[in-house]
Amino acid sequence: MGGPLVKPVILIAAVYLILKFVVPNIPGSAPLPSSLIFLYLILTATGIVIFGTLSGESKEAFWGPIQRFLTGEGIGALQAARYAVLLLFPLLVGWQTFGSTAPSDQPPAENRTIHPAPPGEYTGLSNPVPKTPENIMQGKGFYAAFCSPCHGGNFDGKGPAARGFNPPPANFSDPTTIAMLQESYLFWRIKKGGVGLPIEGMPWKSAMPRWEVELPDEWIWKIIMGEYDGAHQSPRTWE
Ligand code: HEC
């Protein structure tokens, strides 16, 4: 064991450290997936092997120490190291294989269309209920009664019943939910709930109830006003 193997090990370690810790910190880039890092490491190792075996001389310098190490020259510490490698390597491969094939309790990643287009009859509807403080207050009351168990008393999607739903109840204080939607869109979503979602973007598995069976339209419009007011958002308009 000597010089020839030290450089490749340092090189591989350096590539790993750069990909893992330096690249994600470059402005505008994201952490690399571990599968990609693994691929780059394999390519680096392949390059090293090719480079190390280019000529007969470098081949001996490259494989010689590995071969001598594995075929049992030397005693004492070297022998212990050999047994450690022979034991650890199969264990590592076994652990890796187990890790990649064992069933996991993580939900599978799903692409879903968060905001599918509403049916035509809902587009452009405007809220027929006047925006008076009384109506907004009443809407908030309905919200507290019907919606807050899932969408949260703070409109943050963290109600007491929210845990365990996937997709999670929408967080109305997040600017990517109701702030980018029109009131007519909310009216549709609240009326029809998860079961009313179009086929596009399936599977939905949304726990959002279909409120048209319980709440009159007027209440829904009031809830929409209370929801925007409470979440400190305003509906999207085309002006
Ligand atoms: C049983 C839990 C539950 C209750 C109760 C509930 N929701 Fe939901 N809601 C959800 C879930 C889960 C989603 C996310 C999936 C989806 O978009 O259907 C959602 C989504 C929504 C969306 C869509 C937001 C977006 O960005 O597209 C609106 C609007 C909404 N809910 C309003 C309400 C209102 C108003 C009430 C009360 C009348 C209510 N919800 C009650 C579970 C619930």
**pLDDT at 67 (0 to 100):** 82
**pLDDT at 223 (0 to 100):** 97
Q: Tell me the CA distances in angstroms from 84 to 8, 80, 124, 147, one per residue in order.
A: 20, 6, 71, 60
Q: How confident is the model at residue 220 (pLDDT cuts 50, 70, 90)?
A: very high
For residue 176, is pLDDT > 70?
A: yes
Which domain covers residue 47, as residue numbers? 2-101
Contacts of 78 (CB under 8 A, 6+ apart): 1, 69
Contacts of 107 (CB under 8 A, 6+ apart): 166
What spacing in Å lies between the alpha carbon of 238 and ligand 1's midpoint? 24
Q: Are residues 142 and 80 in the same domain?
A: no
What spacing in Å lies between the alpha carbon of 129 and ligand 1's midpoint? 21
Distance separating alpha carbons of residues 73 and 1, to the nearest angstrom: 11
For residue 10, is pLDDT > 70?
A: yes
Distance separating alpha carbons of residues 184 and 114, to the nearest angstrom: 16
Amino acid at 144: A
Q: Are residues 96 and 125 in the same domain?
A: no
CATH number at 188 reads: 1.10.760.10
Amino acid at 67: Q
Distance separating alpha carbons of residues 26 and 40, to the nearest angstrom: 18
Structurally, the chain folds into a number of domains equal to 2
Query: Does some domain include residue 110?
Result: no
Q: Are residues 81 and 183 in the same domain?
A: no
Query: Does some domain include residue 111?
Result: no
Distance separating alpha carbons of residues 188 and 186, to the nearest angstrom: 5
Query: Does some domain include residue 96?
Result: yes
**pLDDT at 1 (0 to 100):** 44
Q: Are 186 and 199 in contact (CB under 8 A)?
A: no
**pLDDT at 61 (0 to 100):** 80
Distance separating alpha carbons of residues 189 and 224, to the nearest angstrom: 11
What would the mean pLDDT of 146-173 be, rounded to a whole number?
93
Q: Are residues 151 and 212 in the same domain?
A: yes
Contacts of 140 (CB under 8 A, 6+ apart): 226, 229, 230
Distance separating alpha carbons of residues 80 and 90, to the nearest angstrom: 16
Ligand 1: residues with CB < 6 A are 115, 146-147, 149-151, 161, 165, 167, 169-170, 177-178, 186, 189-190, 194, 206-209, 211, 223, 227
Q: How confident is the model at residue 95 (pLDDT cuts 50, 70, 90)?
A: very high
Q: How many CB atoms lie within 10 A of CB 231?
A: 22
Which residue's CA is the nearest one to ligand 1's atom 20? 170
> 115, 208, 214: which to mutate for ligand 1, most atoms within 8 A of CB?
208
Q: What is the distance between the terminal CA atoms of the chain, rounded to a whole angstrom?
A: 74
**pLDDT at 127 (0 to 100):** 94
